[in-house]
């Protein structure tokens, strides 16, 4: 009778057809951060037309080639990796890759200023049709490294666990332990310096030795920094380990958002906040026989006021389509208490659209966020933990009001309403000119004239007040403090405080009037997101592709010229950015307030 055999064959076939579990579900509970690449062989990014307008632009590639060459030189300098090329590994991978990191122990140790700080927990998981072959290939390369003369990489062998072979390699260096003879003292006898003396330790057992454990289980290749983690991963893949993210409701919610994306990132705040709470208790604990220090907050009072447990997680995902690159995000928090209430409670209902944003703005950000209420919430949080400070604070506020007739709380901080807007004006100058991209920041006020009057009174009492040059510009007083870079400018217009590290952008804002079109009346705003964004939102973002690319290329060039290209290599010529031409893409996005956080969505699309 063939029925049992037939049933077994059907069961095996069904099992093989079932969707494989996402690799992130094998990560241990308490993983702080992980990044997931859905398919290493996916061509989605390469076929995304708006993205290709940037990354395949010949002039951009030519401009960045010196940076690419320098990075390749840095990689080639690693003599511990003979004949080991990424492409050799990549060819053996055929699906999802996940990297998980847990830095809690390392961060806690560093904050305690401990001598021996452990390395952060690290797990890499990758699907491969020949996972075992990949592990054996890397083990062979590790043995070659260990055989090299003077190599600091060693092969420690392997261990079989649940029929899976786990290989162990490590790097070894000399220990450094300061001795009493190394201590130097100042004139008062206080130790001021310790010089460490190297002390050789047994290879594989030194505190500076870093071990990597890797192997294969079914079709999953894994690499981690502890044998305990390696065994837990094997158990998880075999379905025998329950303390994984597969059991986490919060992680499952992030997976639900991430499963439709080509890449996504997940950050769990809870392990970090628990670590911080433990450190607060340690640092502020009252030792037996001692009296509480009235200048320090009680640990539980501080923990309650901060409400660190109100912060849950952060998600960030990217999906590539032929005509769109979609970036989504979610910040999850509890708005009932602590920092969660402080952050989420500061958002209003709808982002503002003030008329002063000029139609020529290359980049616009608007958010319904109340900085004034945020500052008051921080003040109340501080006073809850340290009531004595409130007495000194109130006395100082009263003294300033007596001398100036200005109440800092009501006239200044309390005058800030819900609304922050920023925009960038491309002056058209060379990218080598630091004033090419000028930015204006604006804060909505409840009473603009009262705020301006209070600022004038306070400035008149300080040396800085005399440094401002004041003039009328289209019926508004424009205050400018001359600086070598062009000057810092400030003005109050239509109930908004505007300030800028330059002059042209703020003048453009003050020039918008009844006969001048603002950004909100342009086609660029009318077509924001090409109909793919919902109405409303607590924030919005718009970016002209040409100006955005040139701005970031200039920033990258300046950073590289000051770092990796600063050793005699010819610096990047920023004037070459001017010849790149138009980049016909637009960045558009919005954020929305939900019952448990802030959700965002942005699109990189071809310019209509």
pLDDT digits (tens, 9 = 90+) for 372-421: 999 999 999 999 999 888 999 999 999 989 988 899 899 999 999 999 99
- Give helix then strand counts, H and E, for the chain: 18, 24
Q: Taking all residues of the chain, what is their mean pLDDT, rounded to a whole number?
A: 87
Q: What is the pLDDT of residue 66?
A: 86
Q: What is the pLDDT of residue 498?
A: 97
Residue 356 near residue 512 (C-beta atoms within 8 A): yes
Residue 353 near residue 520 (C-beta atoms within 8 A): yes
| Cα–Cα distance, 388 to 149 (Å, whole number) | 65
For strands 469-473 and 437-445, give the pairing. unpaired
| Cα–Cα distance, 476 to 489 (Å, whole number) | 12
Can you tell me whether residue 405 is helix, strand or coil? coil
| Cα–Cα distance, 569 to 65 (Å, whole number) | 13
| Cα–Cα distance, 554 to 560 (Å, whole number) | 10
Q: What is the pLDDT of residue 131?
A: 95
Q: What is the pLDDT of residue 17?
A: 36
Q: What is the pLDDT of residue 145?
A: 79
For strands 121-127 and 153-161, give the pairing. unpaired
Looking up tokens 């999802």, which residue turns up?
Answer: 96
Q: What is the pLDDT of residue 244?
A: 95
Q: What is the pLDDT of residue 384?
A: 92
Number of neighbouring beta carbons within 10 Å of residue 24: 25
Residue 161 near residue 234 (C-beta atoms within 8 A): yes
| Cα–Cα distance, 86 to 95 (Å, whole number) | 16
Q: What is the largest CA-CA distance in the chain?
A: 103
Q: Which residues of the chain have pLDDT under 70?
A: 1-19, 74-84, 149-150, 173-207, 485, 566, 568
Enter the pTM of the model.
0.86
Q: What is the pLDDT of residue 334?
A: 96
How many Cα atoms within 13 Å fall on the side-chain side of residue 354? Answer: 29
Give me the DSSP letters along 318-387.
EEEETTEEEEEEEEEE-TTSHHHHHHHTTB-SS----TTSBTT-SEEEEEEEEHHHHHHHHHHHHHHH-H
Q: Which helix (H) or strand (E) holds 161?
A: strand 153-161
Tokens, residue 13: 């076939």
Can you tell me whether residue 297 is helix, strand or coil? coil
Looking up tokens 């100036």, which residue turns up?
Answer: 404
């Amino acid at each position: 009778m063939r029925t049992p055999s037939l049933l077994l064959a059907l069961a095996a076939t069904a099992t093989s057809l079932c969707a494989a579990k996402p690799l992130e579900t094998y990560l241990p509970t308490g993983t702080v951060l992980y990044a997931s690449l859905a398919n290493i062989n996916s061509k989605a990014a390469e076929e995304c037309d708006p993205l290709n307008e940037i990354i395949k632009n010949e002039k951009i590639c030519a401009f960045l080639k010196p940076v690419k060459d320098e990075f390749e030189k840095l990689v080639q300098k690693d003599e511990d990796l003979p004949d080991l090329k990424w492409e050799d590994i990549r060819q053996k991978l055929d699906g999802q890759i996940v990297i998980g990191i847990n830095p809690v122990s390392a961060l806690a140790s560093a904050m305690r200023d401990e001598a021996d700080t452990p390395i952060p927990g690290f797990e890499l998981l990758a699907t491969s049709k020949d996972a075992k072959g990949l592990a054996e290939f890397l083990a062979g390369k590790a043995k070659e490294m260990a055989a090299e003369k003077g190599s600091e990489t060693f092969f420690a062998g392997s261990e079989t666990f649940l029929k899976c072979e786990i290989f162990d390699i490590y790097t070894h260096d000399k220990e450094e332990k300061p001795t009493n003879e190394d201590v130097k003292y100042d004139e008062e006898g206080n130790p001021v310096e310790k010089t460490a003396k190297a002390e050789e330790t047994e290879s594989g057992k030194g505190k500076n030795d870093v071990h990597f454990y890797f192997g294969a289980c079914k079709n999953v290749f894994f690499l981690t920094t502890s044998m305990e983690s390696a065994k837990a991963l094997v158990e998880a893949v075999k379905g025998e380990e329950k303390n994984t993210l597969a059991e986490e409701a919060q992680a499952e919610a992030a997976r639900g958002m991430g499963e439709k994306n080509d890449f996504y990132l997940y950050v769990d705040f809870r392990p970090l906040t628990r670590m911080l709470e433990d450190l607060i208790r340690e640092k502020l604990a009252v030792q037996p026989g001692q009296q509480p220090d009235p200048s320090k907050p009680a640990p539980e009072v501080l923990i309650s006021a901060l409400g660190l447990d109100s912060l849950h997680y952060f998600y960030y995902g990217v999906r590539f389509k032929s005509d769109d690159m979609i970036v989504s995000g979610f910040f999850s928090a509890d708005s009932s208490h602590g920092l969660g209430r402080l952050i989420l409670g500061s958002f209003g209902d709808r982002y503002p659209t003030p008329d002063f944003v000029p139609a020529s703005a290359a980049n616009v950000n608007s958010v319904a966020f109340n900085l004034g209420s945020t500052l008051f919430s921080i003040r109340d949080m501080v006073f809850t933990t340290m009531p004595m400070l409130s007495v000194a604070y109130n006395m100082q506020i009263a003294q300033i009001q007596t001398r100036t007739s200005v109440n800092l709380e009501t006239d200044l901080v309390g005058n800030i309403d819900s609304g922050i807007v920023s925009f960038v004006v491309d002056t058209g100058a060379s990218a080598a000119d630091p004033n090419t991209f000028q930015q204006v920041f604006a804060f909505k006020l409840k009473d603009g004239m009262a705020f301006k009057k209070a600022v004038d009174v306070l400035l008149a009492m300080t040396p800085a007040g005399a440094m401002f040059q004041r003039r009328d510009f289209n019926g508004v007083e424009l205050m400018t403090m001359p600086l070598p870079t062009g000057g810092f400018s400030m003005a109050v217009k239509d109930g908004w405080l505007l300030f800028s590290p330059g002059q042209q952008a703020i003048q453009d804002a003050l020039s918008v009037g009844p006969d001048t079109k603002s950004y909100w009346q342009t086609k660029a705003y009318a077509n924001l997101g090409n109909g793919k964004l919902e109405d409303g939102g607590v924030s919005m973002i718009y970016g002209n592709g040409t100006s955005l690319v040139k701005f970031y290329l200039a920033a990258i060039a300046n950073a590289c010229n000051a770092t990796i290209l600063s050793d005699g290599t010819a610096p990047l010529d920023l004037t070459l950015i001017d010849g790149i031409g138009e980049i016909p893409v637009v960045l558009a996005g919005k954020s929305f307030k939900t019952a448990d956080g802030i959700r965002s969505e942005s699109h990189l699309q071809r310019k209509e």
